[in-house]
């Protein structure tokens, strides 16, 4: 075999290998570096990965629905659907899914998530959060880190984030996002000295231990997804889905958080959008 032929074969083999590996090397669901905080801030490889795109099991996740809703796999995504079977009918009750295990007090979590609604009634509160491991489904828990929370379904839906420890809360002013069946990535980095929130790979909020030492709990946390509907209220049929979830350790230093990142502020009143 000539040198030229050997080179051509080697190139072809390398190309085929790269093609075969590409789906495994890129985040499932099509999220690119431009919308992934893990990639944009150099967190390295995720140490825990949850995907359902290839029919993976939901083992490790638990769920509760106390009304018309259910939890299932929808088009390769873990989904909370408020039900009932008819999209045009109103729904009732709460739907929750949470990770039963793999709890951490420090680290980085990132999720690709969206919601879709049908008909018109009272909108559910869609909530993505971290709560203490073992928190009952009916409880908010003693501590909660809210990555994103919203009510409604428009191209400019007010979206909220924050942290609660006991009766103390710290929040960021609501910002608008297109929540009309549009994927976004939500992430949080919890260190001993700072908590930073990210949306679509941008640092959008930060709180330091100097600013608010009471916000930093050592409680081990797990992800929880919630459709929160007031009891006895006719709710809009809603489906909230997560395409993939990732947990990263703090082993990699990561990129520096911009100094222009807004700081959360303390509040003494009940906050809409936070459990």
Enclosing domain of residue 125: 32-267
pLDDT at residue 56, as a whole number? 72
pLDDT tens-place string over residues 131-143: 999 999 888 888 9
Do 103 and 20 share a domain, yes or no?
no
pLDDT at residue 268, as a whole number? 73
Residue at token pair 């924050």: 162
Burial 133-172 (b: 16+ CB within 10 A, else e): bebebeeebebbbbbbbbbbbeeebbbbbbbbbeeebbbb
Give the lowest-confidence range in 151-155, 226-230, 266-270.
Answer: 266-270
Give the lowest-confidence range in 32-41, 105-114, 188-197, 231-240.
Answer: 32-41
Residue 95 banded pLDDT, cuts 50, 70, 90: very high
Residue 86 banded pLDDT, cuts 50, 70, 90: confident
184-190 vs 202-208, strand pairing mode: unpaired
Do 58 and 192 share a domain, yes or no?
yes
Give the pLDDT mean for 29-48: 79
Q: Is the pLDDT of residue 31 over 50?
A: no
Do 143 and 188 share a domain, yes or no?
yes
Task: Say how far apart CA 45 and CA 67 lie, in whole Å.
Answer: 39
Detail the DSSP E strand segments found in 77-193.
77-81, 95-99, 107-118, 125-132, 143-151, 157-165, 168-171, 175-177, 184-190
What is the tally of structural domains in the chain?
2
Do 17 and 105 share a domain, yes or no?
no
Nearest to 190 by CA among 250, 236, 238, 146: 250
């Amino acid at each position: 075999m000539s040198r030229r032929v050997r080179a051509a074969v080697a190139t072809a083999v390398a190309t085929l290998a790269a093609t075969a590996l590409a789906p495994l090397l890129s985040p499932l669901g099509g999220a690119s570096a431009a919308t992934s905080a893990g990639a944009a801030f150099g967190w390295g490889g995720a140490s825990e990965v949850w995907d359902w795109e290839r029919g993976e099991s939901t083992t490790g996740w638990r769920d509760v629905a106390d009304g018309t809703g259910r939890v299932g796999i929808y088009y390769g995504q873990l989904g909370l659907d408020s039900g009932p079977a008819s999209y045009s009918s109103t729904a009732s009750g709460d739907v929750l899914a949470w990770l039963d295990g793999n709890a951490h007090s420090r680290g980085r979590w990132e999720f690709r998530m969206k919601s879709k609604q049908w008909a018109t009634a009272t909108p559910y509160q869609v909530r993505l959060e971290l709560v203490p491991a073992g928190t009952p489904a009916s409880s908010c828990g003693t501590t909660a880190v809210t990555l994103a929370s919203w009510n409604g379904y428009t191209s400019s839906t007010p979206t909220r984030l924050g942290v609660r420890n006991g009766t103390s809360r710290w929040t960021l002013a609501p910002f608008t996002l297109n929540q009309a069946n549009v994927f976004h990535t939500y992430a949080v980095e919890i260190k001993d000295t700072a908590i930073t929130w990210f949306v679509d790979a941008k640092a959008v909020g930060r709180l330091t231990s100097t600013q608010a030492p009471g916000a930093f709990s050592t409680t081990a946390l797990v992800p929880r997804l919630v459709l929160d509907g007031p009891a006895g209220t006719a709710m809009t049929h809603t489906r909230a889905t997560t395409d993939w979830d990732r947990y990263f350790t703090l082993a990699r230093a990561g990129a520096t958080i911009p100094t222009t990142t807004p700081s959360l502020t303390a509040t003494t009143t009940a906050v809409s959008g936070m459990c």
